[in-house]
Structure 1
Amino acid sequence: MRLVFAGTPEPAVPSLRRLAASDHDLAAVITRRDAPLGRKRVLTPSPVAAAAEELGLHTLRADRLDADATERVMALRPDLGVIVAYGGLVREPLLSAPVHGWINLHFSLLPRWRGAAPVQHALIAGDAQTGASVFHLVPELDAGAVYAERAHPIPADATAGDLLSALAADGADLLVSVVDAIAAGTALAHPQEGEPTYAGKLGDEDGAIRWAEPQGAVLGRIRGVTPEPGAHTTVDGARVKVLAVHPAPEDAPALAPGRMALDRRELLVGTATAPLVLDTVQPSGKGPMRAADWWRGLRADEPVAGS
């Protein structure tokens, strides 16, 4: 089949590479425009744009699929549109332009966690498993019939970044199998079943750690917002990024929520239940450092972390 592919971030790259290596004709890659990154705000291609250039694929840069982008895509006369984390909506008439419409690889087991940040919300909610789903794109958000899905258990220590990398690899294989089935005329899709939940895009405020919650909820939030938008707290009025934590030993001393203490060369911080060990932090204006070393440098006798 003649395909167009839309995607932007790193988790979309494995799917692009698998499709480029398939028997199908990848007519164009749609991705968002180069964005300023880093302290110097250097214009940088998206991961998908960089991969497409490496693969020698025709690339269309567009932050949204407006009338101009729609005209350019429709001129390619695609048989199927494929979208993985593009970051924009596909509306009519583009939605119906390909012969077989559009399919979307989504990193959850639909209808749970429809929306922009399914992996992050799964971790924050404490889900035991997530997965990847390939579904038929419809106007309603992530509501189309599902062609295939694959469950993936969530490791106890996984961050959102870790989990997205694993799902991106598994999902790429799942996606290509669905494209092959559509080409062969054997693909079957079934309506989504169950009550939908929604995973809106996370902002900086979602990364604020709430030490008054139970240990499991605090862990889930930290891992769910790592690496983006990032977990953070305040100590003595200064913002501190929390980069890595783990549960404290069972015999660790009890601490009030947010209270910190050094124990056996490790920095503990209290939650509503059991304490956590802060492994790595990044104070404002400084690089990552061992949390216990950072704590020793504080002037306060008993610093308390706040959200």
Structure 2
Amino acid sequence: MPLRIVFAGSPAAAVPSLRALIGSDHEVVAVVTREDAPLGRKRILTPTPVADVAQAAGIRVLKANRITPLTDEIAALDADLGVIVAYGGLIREPLLSTPRLGWINLHFSLLPRWRGAAPVQRALIAGDRMTGAAVFQLVPELDAGPVYATVSQSIGAHETAGHLLERLSVSGAKVLVNVVNDLRDGMASAAEQVGEPTLAPKLELADGLLDWTSPAAELDARLRGTTPEPGAFALLADGERLKVLDATIARGDAGLPPGEFELRAGRLLVGTATEPLHLVTVHPAGKRAMPAADWWRGRK
């Protein structure tokens, strides 16, 4: 028989999973998502991407920034399984045991590596070559439950956190539905996590700071790991904060002292501890995004 599912999720990364469950043999009886948030320059209250999809499908939507107060409402749904994908809040007892089969979580890393809120970003910043997604049984400890299934993917040399998360959200959704099917059929088997855990705490604004005394490879990894959020930036000598939207390692170019800018053949380079970085697109404070070379010419 199809399972009755409560789905909890909020951002765009959770949408492929919700769509896959809606399109499956199972019944999504309710969706829990975070409350509408003010977005854009006009700060207009906007539903989460998950809320939009659920409402369009005619599914009951429960909006809350904390899921625990909804325990009684969720219990009344008589769900077989809870599924959580990037909801943005913790599930604790007694809600954890409320659905008959408990809760499963799609997490965007190969557990136990990168437990926490920002696994994709932390993997990129650390320079990982491989990552993936894992479906595991939720337990009280953070991202520590036994794993039902994983999918592994290589990280592209120029891939940002935004692009990688979008890719993993699609491949992970397929794995998630397979696990739900196995739980329905009584065929699911989960294995305890093996290896030393690493943590992936939520990124702060300071995580995007580009320190030109670092090697170019580390700066490139930090830029890609903090794009699009919270964004990479440099602090210039006069105190100006410069957002860096796109850059590449200038392999083969002559070096520059760390932090020194130079225009070469129409390209703006900045020195690091190793090779220079070629700044492609920047966003100066109070201005629009622009080619880095144009910004430098105007600044001089």
TM-score (norm 2): 0.98
Q: How does 1:1-307 map to 2 (within 5 A)?
A: 1-67=3-69, 69-235=70-236, 236-250=238-252, 252-299=253-300
- Tell me the residue number matched to 1:304: none
Identity %: 59
2-structure distance, mates of 1:42, 1:64: 22
How far is 1:253 from its partner? Answer: 2.1
2-structure distance, mates of 1:193, 1:213: 33
How far is 1:38 from its partner? Answer: 1.3
Check the 8 A contact 2:251/2:275 in 1, yes or no.
Answer: no
What is the CA deviation profile of residues 37-80 of structure 1, one whole-angstrom value per residue up to 9, with x for unaligned ones? 1121110001111111122211000100133x111111101100
What is the CA deviation profile of residues 182-232 of structure 1, one whole-angstrom value per residue up to 9, with x for unaligned ones? 000000000000000000000101011111111111000000000000001
Q: Which amino acid aligns with 1:57?
A: I
Q: Which amino acid aligns with 1:245?
A: A
How far is 1:114 from its partner? Answer: 0.2
2-structure distance, mates of 1:96, 1:171: 24
Unaligned residue ranges in structure 2 (runs of 5+): none
2-structure distance, mates of 1:127, 1:66: 35
2-structure distance, mates of 1:291, 1:196: 39
How far is 1:103 from its partner? Answer: 0.2
What is the CA deviation profile of residues 167-194 of structure 1, one whole-angstrom value per residue up to 9, with x for unaligned ones? 0000000100000000000000000000
Unaligned residue ranges in structure 1 (runs of 5+): 300-307
Q: Which amino acid aligns with 1:82?
A: V
2-structure distance, mates of 1:257, 1:89: 42
Aligned residues: 297
2-structure distance, mates of 1:55, 1:224: 34
What is the CA deviation profile of residues 62-108 of structure 1, one whole-angstrom value per residue up to 9, with x for unaligned ones? 100133x1111111011000000000000111000111100000000
Q: Which amino acid aligns with 1:44?
A: T
How far is 1:249 from its partner? Answer: 3.5
2-structure distance, mates of 1:37, 1:148: 35
Q: Which amino acid aligns with 2:20?
A: R
Check the 8 A contact 2:120/2:164 in 1, yes or no.
Answer: yes
- Secondary structure at 1:15 match in 2: helix
Q: Which amino acid aligns with 1:199?
A: A
- Secondary structure at 2:17 match in 1: helix
